[in-house]
Amino acid sequence: MSGHFRPSRRAMLKVGLAGAATVASPAILRLTASAQSGPIKIGLPLALTGALGSVGQQQKRGAELYAKIQNAKGGILGRPIELLIEDTAGNPANCVRKAQEMVERRDCRLLTGITLSSEALAVVPKLAEWDSIFISSDNGDGRLTAESLVPNFFRANISGPMGTRAVSLYLRTAKLQKFYALGLDYAWGHNSVQVFEQEAVKSKKEFIGKVFAPTGTKDYSPYITKIRQSGADAVFLVLQGDDNNAFLSQAQQYRLPEKVKLLTEIVDLASIRAVGDASLGLIGSSRYSFTYDHPLNNEFVALWKKEHGTVPDTFEGEQWQCMKVFEAGIVKAGGIEAAKLRAALEDIEIESVKGKVHIRKCDHQGVQQGFMVEVVKKPGFDTPVPEVIATFPGDSTTPTCNTMTFKD
Amino acid sequence: MSTLALLLSQFVDALSQSALLFFLGVGLTLIFGLMRIVNFAHGALYMLGAFVGYSLGTWSGNYWLALAGAPLLVGLFGTAFEFSILRRLYRRDAHAFLMVTFGLALVVGEAVRLTWGSDALKVAAPPVLSGVVFLLDEPFPVYRLFLAATGIVVAVAIWQFLERSRLGLLIRATSQNADMANALGVDIKLIRSCVFGIGCGLAALGGVLAAPLVTASNGMAATVIIDAFVIVIIGGMGSFLGSLIGALLIGFVQVFGNYYAPDFALAFMYLVMLAVLVVRPGGLLGKEA
Amino acid sequence: MPLLELDGVTRRYGALVALDQVAMKVEEGEVRAVIGPNGAGKTTLFNVITGTVKPTTGAIRFSGQAIAGLPSHQICRLGLSRTFQITALFPEMSARENAQLAAQARHKQRWQPFGGGKIFKEAQALADAALEQLGLSGIADRPAGLLSHGDQRLLEVAMAMAQQPRVLLLDEPTQGLSVEETAQAVETLARFLQASRMTVLLVEHDMEVVFRLAHRITVLHRGAVIADGAPAEVKADPRVQDAYLGGLD
Amino acid sequence: MRGTTRLIWIVVALALLAAPLGLPPFAMTLLTEAVILGLFAMSLDLMFGYTRLVSFGHAAAYGFGAYACGWLLLHTGMPLLFAVFAAGLLTGVMAIGVGWICTLATGVSFSMLTLAFAQLLYAISFKWTSVTGGSDGLAGIPRTIGPFGFAALSSKTGFYYLALACLVGGFLVCRALVRSPFGAVLRGIRENEAKTTALGYNTRLYKIAVVAISYGLGGLAGALYAPFAGFANTELLFWLLSGQVLIMVIVGGAGTLIGPVLGAAFFMLMEHQLSAWTEAWALYFGLIFIAFVLFAPQGIWGLATGWLQMGRSRANPRL
């Protein structure tokens, strides 16, 4: 692991151009005095409505519980936490506008949430001008810590390539030999399938083929037929939200799981609830699972049950961890000024609900354990739950700095 | 899997998808034929159907009640909307309908989210429809056969209704010439309310039938409204038979297209529409537009 | 040379023959009426001449130039202006604006995308003259949609006249008018035709109107010309009487 | 009474010119975006309000302009000013083809053909990753100054003036157009296309021309948006935006040019503010549109002019 921050090629190019004075260097927005001492404002432009509203709502609940509990303890550095939560409906144009309002009008310099990767990619180039720090809690796109990396961006969550890597590591010891992949036809799907293919080839497995479906596909029968015909032992799925639910429901109706093992890049409770028993036997990586046995996680789950009467879902846990990273950084920096906070966050290490999280300096990715879970029936739960079946050390699931690829 | 088995299962798949598309399209085309308005809220009502079906199903534990009840309730809602708001607008130009139904789509969409939440909800098919049958030794979901059969039954029923029943006759007469029908003593207002309700009910039927395939979710409405438009326009605005043909065409093109050329999945529907409209600007069975 | 000449014009719709070998000649300054029972092909004849429908076979010549198959806007620009059986106006524009838009269609710079004061002025002069000819000057500023039916029919004629046509094609100019309205409109038209000496091709249902206005009459029956001559001759022709009685039952 | 109107115009113009002096940064951000969307809605009004060509795919213009401008700025080093106008021009040229095909049909079929083109562009933007960036879109679009040194245009204030100049320029072009002989023909097409053809106008050519101009201006708006927001992505080509811009035009008042600009500002600000107040913003948003249809059929512009006239008639009851 190299210890120095390496900005992206595009960022370097821009610096070069700026040097040639052909690009306007926008005036950087400095913090006002009140923002230096008043409440600590954390802005969350979230997709609370629309197709990914379910994810945005999880992030909202995760952040809100954190703020409530931390404020009861006196906030951070004695300053109360104020959450600015706004709905973007998942539209990057709205997201940029909302984030800009948080920065320009409400003097907020800390951003998180930002549900969609397309929104995050639209926001990150603005961070320097806004003098703001953005810590991702759910963006999966590997590029954010690779070619699109900017100095003020950090990722506390497990990225798409990391999730895929966990699945791949798990498969090295599994009997399954022949694989097919089905991904959503956008960056996340393509990145993850690509990583999976490389990993499968590396571990001497057979990668038979792949297919991509556009988001919003309602009928998965052509894809299910393709998977059945491929003769694969297992299919790797990179699906989310409605598409994931539609695929799992229809795959079960076709009795696909009896013939082909379903592996998935991401397991979350919302999907399990939406498809019920159709998720049984599903194996996949988990960004966060409430069933992971760790003192801090058990404490968090208990808190959550007390507050909401249910167990926390994937992005509720991810958001909680992200807030903990923010907290640690602010405490270490002694404030929220971007330059200091950035320096503090680089190389910071905390103990969180998922175990140790270390934000490495080189690409601002949070190095953390990878989890493999299997969806099973468990007494005490009326829907299936994900059970942790393997964990992998962070060093093995995190890509080489500034890339989406892995060494071995 | 033998080629024959593959083609057979794709054929039935396409029929089942066409059925879902048909429920959407036929409601839209009936409404357009009669009132010359484009109902932008059609997708939202489809979604409402799925959620109402979910609640009826969980409350009664009876799938068949949900299947019958959701279209009825959504149909009544449609009638009430026509009665209270649309009725005031027939003398106005098309903008008014465009905006009022756009508004309705937003209102219904958000009301669904507020009532049922953001998470997708599981709608299970009843046990009798949950199994598989073997088509040439390949498992095929019974539920899809049921969809295809329902599609055929509903299409025949609507056709017979339009051809044979008195109300059907009045609807056809009014579609062809509202003034004339009015002069002959047809209560156009009543017919309009009925047809708007029937159209909304059919959309809801599509929603409640689609739910076991795609779950009931907030994202349901977004894509289907465009599908419905495309079907209706390919068949010819206002033509019952046209909407049937449009649904079959799109159903088959999507199932076969997504299998054989998945890279073009996003474009198929529009390429078909483009081709049809360039050759026949009024749609396959439409009057020259 | 006749101004308008049709030769063997046939139009089929599948098995249906709407026009069957129609031949006719219209001389300059003549007012020619085309009559016939319902479905005789009168409106199809107009559509074929003005280019909205292409003839299946046959030739149409306008002052010697073959025009069959040309797009309708080009035929119109050669100097054939028509009115429609069902009133076709721009309802939200004033009567003057209606006529002005008609006049503008003949202007070389009708498409100019800016300014246009001079073009408008020239078009308005033609429009006002045409309105004057048909006695509509008094209502020039009223929206066309609000005019009486009779005035709307006359406005259509005025619009055609504003284009300074060489042939005027009138498709049932008194269609849909009451008896009194018809009488008034016919008087205005008769006065106008006498004064202007326009070449006119007129389709009309109402025999009284035809006999009042036409110099010469062509009778169509099932798409074919069955008689052609001066009003008195045609009136006496037994085939015409047959056709009419046959067509009315 | 023309004096009052003129006075109002002067006040509005001065206010817009002086806005950067008095408004806080975020208000300027909103105002700039409103100006850009206003130009977009106004461009549609040319088709929708003046020619009754209802485009269901106007996002094609906006998105195409945004991508074209973004690509030029990212990959050619072309200065901002040139890139913006080149992108608008490209969109207009592209639209000649679109117009040529779409005008084969009329009515709802025309609308659906425009939608088909927009959705095909949407599919292309997803698939042609090497140029469009795929689902990620183009991000980090710079406001390149270039060798001719329009440095001022790249700043926040400068960019606002650039957008404002485009809006005012677009308005002047559109107004000249609708008042010209060409515009008179458009009005004829709007009220009775068959009659317009019968009068000897080649209406299809007029329609293709108006589609090209309208898309060109819409593309100019999109071209401004890309360097304004710093990104261009597939959402800008999605049918949802096409629907929204139609609503902006109707809410503002179709066939008035200024109305749609107000409609766009109203739509954007309402959505922004309502969603800040409540998560259920879509509910109220929808109700507002229904209320508009029922109680303000002429749109915002109709309300404004009606209110002005009421003031006049009170001042001078004999009028």
Q: What is the pLDDT, as a whole number, of residue D313?
A: 56
The residues, any chain, with a CB within 8 Å of residue A305's CB and separated by 6 or more, are: A311
Instruction: Render each residue's pLDDT in chain C as its tens digit; 249 residues.
Output: 789 999 999 999 888 888 999 999 999 999 999 988 877 888 899 999 998 889 999 999 998 899 988 888 888 888 898 888 888 899 999 999 999 999 999 888 888 888 888 999 999 999 999 999 898 999 999 999 999 988 999 999 999 999 999 999 998 888 888 888 888 989 999 998 888 889 999 998 788 888 889 999 999 888 899 888 888 888 888 888 777 755 443
Q: What is the pLDDT, as a whole number, of residue C109?
A: 85
> Could you tell me if residue D310 is inside a domain?
no
Q: Chain D residue closest to C156 (CA)?
A: D195
Average pLDDT over residues D216-226: 97
Size of interface B-D (CB pairs under 8 A): 123
Q: Do chains C and B touch (3 or more CB pairs under 8 A)?
A: no
Q: Do D119 and B226 touch (CB under 8 A)?
A: yes
ipTM comes to 0.89
Q: Tell whether D24 is within 8 A of chain A (Cβ).
A: yes
Interatomic CA distance for residues B24 and B43, integer angstroms:
8
The two three-digit tokens of residue D249, written as one number: 């035009």
Measuring CA to CA, which residue among A66, A44, A107 is closest to residue A327? A66
Q: What is the pLDDT, as a whole number, of residue B281?
A: 87
The residues, any chain, with a CB within 8 Å of residue A93's CB and separated by 6 or more, are: A122, D225, D229, D235, D236
Q: Do D293 and B270 touch (CB under 8 A)?
A: no
Q: Which of D54, D108, D287 sits opposite B289 (nearest CB)?
A: D108
Interatomic CA distance for residues D80 and A24, integer angstroms:
10
Alpha helices by DSSP H, listed for chain B, are: 3-35, 42-60, 63-84, 94-116, 127-130, 142-164, 166-176, 178-183, 188-214, 220-235, 240-260, 268-279
Quote the CATH superfamily of domain A10-158+295-368: Response regulator (3.40.50.2300)
Average pLDDT over residues A89-110: 93
Q: Do chains A and B touch (3 or more CB pairs under 8 A)?
A: yes
Class of domain C1-79+167-249: alpha beta
Q: Do chains D and B touch (3 or more CB pairs under 8 A)?
A: yes
Residue B243: is its pLDDT beyond 50?
yes
- What three-state secondary structure class fits B40? coil
> Could you tell me if residue D285 is inside a domain?
no
Does residue A45 contact residue A86 with C-beta atoms inside 8 Å? yes
Residue A239: is its pLDDT beyond 90?
yes
Average pLDDT over residues A318-345: 95
Q: What is the pLDDT, as a whole number, of residue B94?
A: 80
Q: Do B6 and A245 touch (CB under 8 A)?
A: no
Q: How would residue D238 be classed by pLDDT, with cut points 50, 70 and 90?
A: very high
Interatomic CA distance for residues A371 and A368, integer angstroms:
10
Q: What is the pLDDT, as a whole number, of residue A2?
A: 44
Tell me which DSSP letter residue B92 carries: S
Q: Do D282 and B109 touch (CB under 8 A)?
A: yes
Tell me which DSSP letter residue D139 carries: E
Q: Chain B residue closest to D249 (CA)?
A: B95
Q: What is the pLDDT, as a whole number, of residue A19?
A: 38
* Number of independent structural domains in chain B: 1
> Could you tell me if residue D49 is inside a domain?
yes
Count of other CB atoms within 10 angstroms of residue C193: 20
Burial class of C149 by CB neighbour count within 10 A (0 to 12, 13 to 18, 19+)? middle
- What three-state secondary structure class fits A313? coil
Interatomic CA distance for residues B52 and B50, integer angstroms:
6
Interatomic CA distance for residues B277 and D113, integer angstroms:
7
Q: Do A216 and B219 touch (CB under 8 A)?
A: yes
Q: Which of B113, B120, B258 sits opposite A222 (nearest CB)?
A: B258
Shortest distance between the Cα of A291 and any Cα of chain D, in A, equals: 31
Q: Do D180 and C115 touch (CB under 8 A)?
A: yes
Q: What is the pLDDT, as a whole number, of residue B56?
A: 95
Does residue A337 contact residue A36 with C-beta atoms inside 8 Å? yes
Residue B289: is its pLDDT beyond 80?
no
Q: Which residues of D touch C (CB under 8 A)?
A: 176-177, 179-185, 187-188, 191-192, 194-203, 206, 209
Residue A9: is its pLDDT beyond 80?
no
Q: Tell whether C166 is within 8 A of chain D (Cβ).
A: no
Residue B112: is its pLDDT beyond 60?
yes
Q: Do B92 and D297 touch (CB under 8 A)?
A: yes
CA C83 to chain centre: 5
Count of other CB atoms within 10 angstroms of residue B57: 25
> Could you tell me if residue D177 is inside a domain?
yes
Q: What is the pLDDT, as a whole number, of residue A64?
A: 97
Q: Which of A14, A100, A118 sits opposite D29 (nearest CB)?
A: A100
Q: What is the pLDDT, as a whole number, of residue A328?
A: 95
**Placement of tokens 């990619």 in the chain:** A121
Q: Do B266 and A185 touch (CB under 8 A)?
A: yes
Judge if A10-158+295-368 and A161-286+371-397 fold alike in CATH terms: yes
Q: Chain B residue closest to D125 (CA)?
A: B266
Q: Do C163 and D200 touch (CB under 8 A)?
A: yes
Q: Do A253 and B10 touch (CB under 8 A)?
A: no
Q: Do D181 and C104 touch (CB under 8 A)?
A: yes
The two three-digit tokens of residue B27, written as one number: 């409601």
Tell me which DSSP letter residue A178 carries: E
Q: Do B278 and D112 touch (CB under 8 A)?
A: no
Residue A16: is its pLDDT beyond 70?
no
Q: Do chains C and A touch (3 or more CB pairs under 8 A)?
A: no
Q: How would residue A15 be classed by pLDDT, with cut points 50, 70 and 90?
A: very low
The residues, any chain, with a CB within 8 Å of residue B235's CB and separated by 6 or more, are: B25, B29, B241, B242, B243, B244, B245, B246, B247, B283, B284, B285, B286
Q: Tell whether D26 is within 8 A of chain A (Cβ).
A: yes
Q: Tens digit of pLDDT for each residue in D264-309?
A: 999 999 999 999 999 999 999 999 999 999 998 888 998 888 887 7
The domain in which residue D164 lies consists of: 28-239
Shortest distance between the Cα of A21 and any Cα of chain D, in A, equals: 8
Q: Tens digit of pLDDT for each residue in D78-104?
A: 899 999 999 999 999 999 999 999 999
Q: Tens digit of pLDDT for each residue in D8-36?
A: 889 999 999 999 998 998 999 999 999 99
Q: Do A91 and D235 touch (CB under 8 A)?
A: yes
> Could you tell me if residue B285 is inside a domain?
no
Write out chain A residues lying below 8 Å of D27, CB-based: 105
Q: Rounded to two decimals, what is the model's pTM?
A: 0.91
Residue B152: is its pLDDT beyond 90?
yes
Q: What is the pLDDT, as a whole number, of residue A21?
A: 38
Q: Do A254 and B139 touch (CB under 8 A)?
A: yes
Q: Do C89 and D192 touch (CB under 8 A)?
A: yes
Residue D44: is its pLDDT beyond 90?
yes
Q: What is the pLDDT, as a whole number, of residue A69?
A: 95
- What are the residue boundaries of the structural domains of chain A, listed by start? 10-158+295-368, 161-286+371-397
**Placement of tokens 């534990």 in the chain:** B61
Please report, for the domain that includes residue B106, its CATH number.
1.10.3470
Q: Do D239 and B226 touch (CB under 8 A)?
A: yes
The two three-digit tokens of residue A351, written as one number: 């103990």
In B, residues 229-288, which contact A (CB 8 Å cutoff)?
254-256, 258-259, 262-263, 265-266
Please state, for a pLDDT cut of 70, what percent of chain D lies above it: 96
Mean of the per-residue pLDDT values of chain B: 90
Q: Tens digit of pLDDT for each residue in B182-199?
A: 777 778 888 889 999 999
Q: Tens digit of pLDDT for each residue in A47-86?
A: 999 888 999 999 999 999 999 999 999 999 999 999 999 9
Angle at A228 between CA A223 and CA A234, to 5 degrees: 95
Residue A405: is its pLDDT beyond 70?
yes
B223 or D112, which is more confident?
A: D112
Tell me which range, A113-122, B231-240, C166-175, D220-229, is most confidently predicted by mean pLDDT. D220-229
Write out chain B residues lying below 8 Å of D239, CB-based: 226
Q: Chain D residue closest to A184 (CA)?
A: D135
Q: Which of D192, D199, D206 sits opposite C163 (nearest CB)?
A: D199
Residue type, D8: I
Burial class of A192 by CB neighbour count within 10 A (0 to 12, 13 to 18, 19+)? buried
Q: Which of D33, D135, D230 sits opposite A126 (nearest CB)?
A: D230
Residue D315: is its pLDDT beyond 50?
no
Which CATH number is A161-286+371-397 given?
A: 3.40.50.2300
3-state secondary structure string, chain C? CCCEEEEEEEEEECCEEEEEEEEEEECCCCEEEEECCCCCCHHHHHHHHHCCCCCCEEEEEECCEECCCCCHHHHHHHCEEECCCCCCCCCCCEHHHHHHHHHHCCCCCCCCCCCCHHHHHHHHHHHHHHHHHCCCHHHCCCEHHHCCHHHHHHHHHHHHHHCCCCEEEEECCCCCCCHHHHHHHHHHHHHHHHHHCCEEEEECCCHHHHHHHCCEEEEEECCEEEEEECHHHHHHCHHHHHHHHHHHC
- Select the residue from D45, D115, D289 to test the B interface by mutation, using most B Cβ atoms within 10 A: D289
Q: Tell whether A190 is within 8 A of chain B (Cβ).
A: no
Alpha helices by DSSP H, listed for chain D, are: 2-22, 25-51, 59-75, 80-102, 107-127, 129-132, 151-154, 156-179, 181-191, 193-198, 203-229, 239-252, 258-277, 281-295, 299-315
Shortest distance between the Cα of D183 and any Cα of chain C, in A, equals: 7
**Placement of tokens 């070449």 in the chain:** C199
CATH 3.40.50.300, chain C: domain bounds = 1-79+167-249
> Could you tell me if residue D22 is inside a domain?
no
Q: Do D54 and B102 touch (CB under 8 A)?
A: no
Residue D316: is its pLDDT beyond 50?
no
Q: Do B271 and D120 touch (CB under 8 A)?
A: yes
CA atoms within 13 A on the CB side of D153: 22
Does residue C203 contact residue C170 with C-beta atoms inside 8 Å? yes
Q: Do D206 and C77 touch (CB under 8 A)?
A: no
Residue type, D257: L
Q: Which of D30, D231, D271 sits opposite A92 (nearest CB)?
A: D231
* Number of independent structural domains in chain D: 1
Measuring CA to CA, which residue among D223, D208, D176, D183 is closest to residue D39? D223
The domain in which residue B12 lies consists of: 3-279
Q: How would residue A173 be classed by pLDDT, with cut points 50, 70 and 90?
A: confident
Average pLDDT over residues A195-222: 92
Tell me which DSSP letter residue A79 carries: B
Q: Do D289 and B100 touch (CB under 8 A)?
A: yes
Residue A34: is its pLDDT beyond 70?
no
Chains touching chain D through at least 3 C-beta pairs below 8 angstroms are: A, B, C
Q: How would residue D164 be classed by pLDDT, with cut points 50, 70 and 90?
A: very high
The two three-digit tokens of residue D48, written as one number: 């929708």
> Could you tell me if residue D290 is inside a domain?
no
